Amino acid sequence: MSTITMRPPVAAPKGDRSFWLQSIAADAVTPPLQGSADCDLAIVGGGYAGLWTALRIKEQAPEMRITVLEADFCGSGASGRNGGQVHSWFAEIDILKALVGEDNALMLCRATADSIEELGYLQASGTIDMDLRLDGWLWTASSTAQEGAWTAATELCRAFGEDRFRALRRDDILRRTGSGVSYIGVLEERAGTVQPAKLAVGLRNLALSHGIVIHERSPVLEITPGPRPHLRTAGGTLSASNVVLAANAWLSAIPELHPYLYVVSSQIIATAPAPDILARIGWTDGASICDAQQHVLYYQRTPEGTVIFGRGTGGIAYNDRIDARFNRGSDGGADNVREMQRVYPELKDVPVLYDWSGPIDCTAQHLPVFGHLKDHANIFYAMGFNGTGIAQTPVAGRIMASLVLGRDDIWSRCGLVGLGTRTRLPPEPLRYLGARVVRHAIRRKNDLEILNRRPGPLTRFVAALAP
Ligand SMILES: Cc1cc2nc3c(=O)[nH]c(=O)nc-3n(C[C@H](O)[C@H](O)[C@H](O)COP(=O)(O)OP(=O)(O)OC[C@H]3O[C@@H](n4cnc5c(N)ncnc54)[C@H](O)[C@@H]3O)c2cc1C
């Protein structure tokens, strides 16, 4: 039986970690795997997806012995580095409907809305302090080309009787965000922001309190499939009846999954706290805000007045080799600084103290996929969150639990299970070269459109080739 070789992450040095991780001094608290051990379920990856899967399964099958193997520490991946924007899948209901049909799309969107309420409960009950602020999500346009980006989703929501979004005018946006750069948009009310690393660490603590075993600093190097697969790390071997691969973008190293996954980087900056300036311009609450550029801008302010400003860079690595540049770029977040100062000229003299990056696990349909490897019915995977995971991974946990426990239910039957309906991406070197050309066109299109200028037909054609 052929061995599956993993390609573990390059761990970020402390100074390159996200503002979120550094501000709570997040690190490993559990020992690496040593020697040989066994369990019923081994989970590779201690991010939101792995931890929610562990928790959902423990809830339904308390007797199951679950071990999580995490390469660095829980939350060191995308889960501790993201923009902290919490919103449901209703914004993607049109693409969900196209992939999984009406009923399934509605069920999945509602499930993410329930996840947001569940996060609210975890926060309110003191189970996980994640600084959750359900002050809404503003999905806006800052140029004519972006106007109406939300129309397909909002009209479908209305047709389904789900009045999830409210229209925003220029003065609403200015009053909420303190910036007049975006001038039209929609608001999802039951949405908002979190401190993402606090959520990841909180899920780790919750998992430990439920008897889930976690070994951090335990990158899985190889998996030998079989009735009881063996997972080898530098210090030990774990055997299990079932395996869940919840290793996000790093799953692109697995040949069977690689054709369906491409990895792009997103970059974020964090400023020194500037509460007085933010109070003066009227940006006071915990809403999440984004515009509708193809390389979307996403931002929030923390309760202390730190401004977090993120942007998809479209940066791609050859053969999905996720190197140190996916931890932190070399330009100090120059692009984000420029964009932040365009949206908030008042922040021009506020120092940027942190910049970092993270890999985004993308699929052609922009929706995650769940299932098991073709020849190994006991090795499952969850991947392709496409940069939207905080309210989506709790749902992923339900789907994974049903798959692992062999349940025939709405989760295991949902249209996100299986690669059959998914688009295969071109092989290398075509994939890398194509992505570079498309990225260049998208950046040019964005730069022109933000000035309300229309890009030429070739630029528009090439930019539209992005999956
Ligand atoms: C920069 C950025 C901004 C984002 N912004 C938002 C946002 O604002 N809102 C939102 O909802 N979502 C956002 N996302 C997406 C969200 O963070 C992810 O969808 C979510 O964290 C995915 O969770 P995960 O568990 O799949 O991945 P991860 O958190 O990356 O967890 C995977 C884990 O697997 C581990 N691993 C990898 N290989 C191995 C191995 N061989 N052995 C052992 N362990 C391994 C990694 O160390 C990692 O900890 C953003 C993502 C990024 C990168």
Q: Does domain 132-192+261-362 have CATH number 3.30.9.10?
A: yes
CA-nearest residue for atom 10, ligand 1, is 388
- Nearest one of 173, 218, 171, 281 to 11, comparing CA atoms: 218
- Is the domain 4-81+197-259+365-421 a CATH 3.40.30.10 member? no
Residues with a CB atom less than 6 Å from ligand 1? 6, 8-9, 44-50, 69-72, 76-79, 81-85, 219-220, 246-248, 250, 266, 268, 298, 310, 358-360, 385, 387-390, 393
Separation of CA 50 and ligand 1 centre (Å): 10
Please identify which residue in the block is written with the tokens 């193809």: 294
Q: Which residues of 49-75 are buried (b: 16+ CB within 10 A; e: fewer)?
A: bbbbbbbbbbeeeeebbbbbbbbbbbb
Q: Which residue has the tokens 């995650």?
A: 368
Q: What share of the chain is helix, strand, coil (3-state, %, to 5)?
A: 35, 25, 40
Helices 48-60, 393-404: axis angle to 10 degrees equals 50
Per-residue pLDDT tens digits of the chain, which is 467 residues long = 689 999 999 999 999 999 999 999 999 999 999 999 999 999 999 999 999 999 999 999 999 999 999 999 999 999 999 999 999 999 999 999 999 999 999 999 999 999 999 999 999 999 999 999 999 999 999 999 899 999 999 999 999 999 899 999 999 999 999 999 999 999 999 999 999 999 999 999 999 999 999 999 999 999 999 999 999 999 999 999 999 999 999 999 999 999 999 999 999 999 999 999 999 999 999 999 999 988 899 999 999 999 999 998 878 878 888 999 999 999 999 999 999 999 999 999 999 999 999 999 999 999 999 999 999 999 999 999 999 999 999 999 999 999 999 999 999 999 999 999 999 998 888 888 877 877 878 788 888 888 888 888 877 877 887 77
Query: Which residue's C-alpha comes closest to atom 38 of ligand 1?
Result: 8
- C-alpha distance from residue 9 to each of 5, 12, 14, 213, 214 (Å): 13, 9, 15, 21, 18
**C-alpha separations of 152 from 123, 307, 386, 445, 446 in Å:** 33, 30, 19, 22, 21
Q: How far is the CA of 93 from the centre of ligand 1 (A)?
A: 22
Delimit the domains of the chain by residue range.
4-81+197-259+365-421, 132-192+261-362, 430-463
Distance 262 CA to ligand 1 centre (A): 14
- Which residues share a beta bridge with 5? 222
One-letter amino acid at 206 equals L
Angle between helices 93-100 and 102-124 (to 10 degrees): 130
Please check whether the two domains, 4-81+197-259+365-421 and 132-192+261-362, share a CATH topology.
Answer: no
| Residue 348 burial (CB count, 10 A) | 9
- Strand, coil or helix: 338: helix
